[in-house]
Amino acid sequence: MQSRLSTYTKKIRRERLVIFALFCLLINGCNTPPVVRGPPPTPVNLPFLRLEQAGECYFIDDFLPTPDSLVSGKTSNLFLRYYTYWNARYKYWSDVGIMLAFYSKDMRCWGLFEEYALPRIEN
C-alpha cells in the first residue's frame, strides 16, 4: 500500500512540475518582444514661405513635399489646408514638427496665414 501511494504522489508531483513548466513557457512566450528602433527619419526641407503678404500667394500643390498629414476644409468663402510635417527643417526651426496653415479662394493660389513648431513627443 505504501509503495502504491508513493508512486501516485510521485506521478502527481511530476504532473504539477510539467504543468508549472508549461505555464512558465507560456508566460515567457507572451512577453512583448524588445523594441528595436532604427535611425531617426531624415528631416524634410521646407521652402521659405512668407506670412500673409498682400496679394502674394503660392501654388503649393506644385512645390511643397507630401505632408505627414493633411487636413482640408472650407469656412464661408475660404478653403483651408493644414499641412503637418513631423520631422522638418523650416526657417529657423530644425528637426521639429511643423504645421503650416493655408487659405485660398480658388483652390489654386494659396496664402500662408499660420505656422507652428510642434513639440516633439518621445515614446
Q: What's the pLDDT score for residue 84?
A: 92
- Residue-wise pLDDT for 15-63, tens only, equals 877 787 777 767 766 666 666 777 777 888 888 888 877 778 888 888 8
Q: What's the pLDDT score for residue 118?
A: 86
Q: Give dist(CA 94, CA 45) in Å, integer.
A: 9
Taking the model in full, what pTM does it have? 0.64
Q: Show me where the domains of the chain are located.
A: 1-35, 44-118
Distances (CA, A) of 105 to 35, 108, 111: 47, 8, 10
Q: Residue 87: CA atoms inside 13 Å, Cβ hemisphere, count?
A: 7
- Residue-wise pLDDT for 61-116, tens only, equals 888 898 989 999 998 899 999 999 988 888 888 878 899 999 998 888 899 888 98
